[in-house]
């Protein structure tokens, strides 16, 4: 009786023999030579296209008996066939594949079927590599986003096809289109969120294309344009009303102060929440600056501190919770900050829907661009990688158009006055 280890070994080991067919002898007394591969009492017969005279054939050795130049040549070829069979067994083992007669037959005749590449397997491998590079090339939030996207992809395939995975070669435009419908209908995602998840999936698809596992792009012809959304920000009067409002509740005071700090620095919640005292340094101009990196994009960000921001830093320099955690400001959870902001907005008579991100929009528009700070400078302070992002963030079109037209009006007014003055002088001369 074999143990499990012996069974596993036997299932992967072949034996090879050669024989002639006595029922297929030609007029010259010759018969074709066949190779027989045996594995676990199963047999695979392969024609060698060699022939032998039956009188010269040895059933015991599986070779020709007379030691002639012709028989030696055939016996060498028989050995080559045997070596090839064992080579294929070794290749299967090295490739980590199961050694079966079907696998050997496929290799022998060149009909071996390549193992399908499965999209979820590839997605999981991508995410595992991303996880290993958190803090080096990727932010943790990016990894979480791709994990969520992976889950949506798995759930979608269960919902639509009742499968856990699919061969990448089966991806097509219909698959993508149905995925979009699933995200919007079943997951209740808005348009821009849907585009984000599809963009994550598109990255995985392009990995398949670059590796040659997929020859055509299923996203060809599929539109993935984000829709422009309203980005609320505070005008100066609203900002002043929050700054000047007196709050008796300590938690509202702190949330108001941190919100105002972000209105004058442009920092997002995640960035101010992790901001440490070590990230406040002296800049090239001798003034205090923030030197940090955005958690979302891991982009270096350098921001000169305005007086309003410096005042808030000084206000919390001895705050116990900040000292214990090494943080610059006592930032609460994002959910609590947004909840308290609603209370602050109501107390100040502000009807706009405010979230903590409103501070970042306010910095871009009311604090900087409206006061003549060039968009290139604003973009750098916000940590944007391209100017287009800043244009959307800061409502730059309305602000820039208004400013440019104001300059044009002044210039046209000067020209009009000059023309009128010249015309008056000419009339007097006449």
The rounded distance, in Å, linking the Cα atoms of 147 and 399 is 39
Question: Cβ distance 385 to 297 under 8 Å?
Answer: yes
Nearest Cα neighbor of 327 from 269, 272, 266, 255 is 272
The rounded distance, in Å, linking the Cα atoms of 20 and 54 is 8
- The CA distances from residue 78 to 23, 108, 174, in Å, are 21, 15, 53
Same domain? For 159 and 56 the reply is no
The Cβ of residue 370 has, within 10 Å, a number of other Cβ atoms equal to 18
For residue 114, being part of any structural domain is answered with no
- The CA distances from residue 39 to 44, 90, 92, 102, 240, in Å, are 8, 14, 14, 11, 85
pLDDT of residue 200: 97
pLDDT of residue 81: 95
Same domain? For 249 and 343 the reply is yes
How many domains, the chain? 4
Q: How many CA atoms within 13 Å lie on the side-chain side of 9?
A: 5
Residues facing 107 on adjacent strands:
none
**Residue 299 is part of a domain; what is its CATH number?**
1.10.443.10
The rounded distance, in Å, linking the Cα atoms of 14 and 194 is 54
For residue 215, being part of any structural domain is answered with no
Same domain? For 251 and 375 the reply is yes
For residue 157, being part of any structural domain is answered with yes
Same domain? For 359 and 422 the reply is no
In the numeric block, the tokens 């995925």 are attached to 179
Residues facing 43 on adjacent strands:
38
Same domain? For 44 and 137 the reply is no
For residue 230, being part of any structural domain is answered with no
The rounded distance, in Å, linking the Cα atoms of 134 and 147 is 13
In the numeric block, the tokens 């300059």 are attached to 407
pLDDT of residue 418: 63
> What sign has the CA pseudo-torsion 29, 35, 39, 43?
negative
Phi, psi for residue 35 in degrees, rounded to 5: -105, 135
E-strand ranges in 211-369 read 280-282, 288-293, 300-304
Question: Cβ distance 11 to 40 under 8 Å?
Answer: yes
Same domain? For 64 and 167 the reply is no
Residue 280, classified by CB atoms within 10 Å of its CB into exposed (0-12), middle (13-18) or buried (19+), is: middle
Largest CA distance in the chain: 138
The rounded distance, in Å, linking the Cα atoms of 35 and 20 is 9
Same domain? For 343 and 408 the reply is no
For residue 355, being part of any structural domain is answered with yes
Last residue within a domain, chosen from 109, 128, 148: 109
Q: Which tokens is 285 given? A: 């101009």
The rounded distance, in Å, linking the Cα atoms of 120 and 154 is 7
Q: How many residues are there in the chain?
A: 430
Same domain? For 54 and 191 the reply is no
Residue range of the domain that includes 63: 4-109
For residue 217, being part of any structural domain is answered with no
Question: Cβ distance 183 to 197 under 8 Å?
Answer: yes
Same domain? For 390 and 405 the reply is no
Residues in the chain predicted with pLDDT less than 50, given as ranges, are: 1-10, 397
Same domain? For 190 and 311 the reply is no
For residue 288, being part of any structural domain is answered with yes
Contact partners, residue 74, CB within 8 Å, separation at least 6:
33, 50, 52, 64
Same domain? For 137 and 284 the reply is no
The rounded distance, in Å, linking the Cα atoms of 69 and 246 is 110
Residues facing 191 on adjacent strands:
none
- The CA distances from residue 335 to 33, 341, 355, in Å, are 80, 10, 10
Question: Cβ distance 255 to 337 under 8 Å?
Answer: yes
pLDDT of residue 397: 47
In the numeric block, the tokens 């696998």 are attached to 103
For residue 220, being part of any structural domain is answered with no
SS3 400: helix
The rounded distance, in Å, linking the Cα atoms of 309 and 322 is 16
Same domain? For 325 and 176 the reply is no
Q: Which tokens is 104 given? A: 């050997």
Q: Is 383 left (phi over 0), alpha (psi -120 to 50) or beta?
A: left
- Look up residue 22 and give its DSSP letter: T
The rounded distance, in Å, linking the Cα atoms of 20 and 50 is 10
């Amino acid at each position: 009786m074999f143990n499990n280890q012996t069974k596993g070994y036997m299932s992967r080991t072949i034996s090879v023999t050669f024989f002639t067919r006595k029922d297929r002898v030609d007029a010259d007394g010759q018969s074709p030579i066949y190779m027989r591969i045996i594995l676990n009492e199963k047999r695979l017969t392969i024609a060698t296209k060699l022939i032998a005279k039956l009188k010269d054939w040895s059933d015991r050795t599986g070779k020709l008996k007379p030691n002639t130049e012709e028989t030696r040549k055939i016996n060498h070829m028989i050995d080559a066939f045997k070596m090839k069979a064992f080579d294929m067994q070794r290749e299967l083992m090295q490739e980590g594949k199961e050694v079966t007669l079907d696998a050997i037959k496929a290799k022998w005749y060149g009909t071996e079927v390549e193992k399908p590449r499965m999209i979820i397997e590839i997605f999981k491998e991508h995410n595992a590599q991303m996880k290993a590079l958190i803090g080096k090339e990727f932010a943790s939030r990016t990894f979480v986003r791709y994990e969520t996207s992976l889950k949506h992809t798995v759930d979608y395939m269960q919902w639509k096809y009742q499968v856990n995975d699919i061969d990448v070669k089966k991806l097509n435009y219909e698959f993508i289109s149905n995925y979009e419908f699933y995200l919007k209908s079943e997951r209740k995602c808005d348009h821009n969120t849907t585009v984000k998840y599809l963009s994550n999936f598109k990255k995985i698809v392009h990995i398949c294309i670059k590796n040659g596992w997929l020859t055509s792009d299923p996203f060809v012809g599929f539109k993935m344009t984000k829709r422009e959304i309203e980005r609320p920000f505070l005008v100066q009067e609203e900002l002043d009303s929050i700054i000047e409002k007196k709050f008796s509740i300590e938690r509202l005071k702190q949330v108001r102060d941190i919100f105002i700090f972000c209105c004058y620095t442009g920092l997002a919640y995640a960035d101010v929440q992790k901001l440490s005292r070590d990230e406040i340094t002296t800049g090239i101009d001798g003034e205090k600056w923030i030197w940090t990196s955005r958690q979302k994009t891991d982009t270096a960000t350098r921001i000169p501190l305005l007086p309003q921001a410096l005042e808030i830093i000084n206000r919390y320099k001895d705050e116990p919770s900040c000292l214990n955690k090494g943080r610059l400001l006592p930032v609460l959870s994002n959910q609590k900050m947004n909840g308290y902001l609603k209370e602050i907005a109501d107390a100040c008579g502000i009807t706009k829907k405010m979230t903590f991100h409103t501070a970042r929009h306010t910095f871009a528009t009311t604090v900087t661009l409206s006061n003549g700070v060039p968009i290139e400078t604003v973009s750098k302070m916000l940590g944007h990688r391209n100017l287009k992002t800043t244009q959307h963030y800061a409502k730059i079109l309305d602000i820039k158009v208004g400013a440019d037209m104001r300059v044009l009006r002044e210039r046209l007014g000067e020209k009009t006055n000059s023309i009128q003055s010249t015309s008056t002088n000419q009339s007097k001369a006449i």
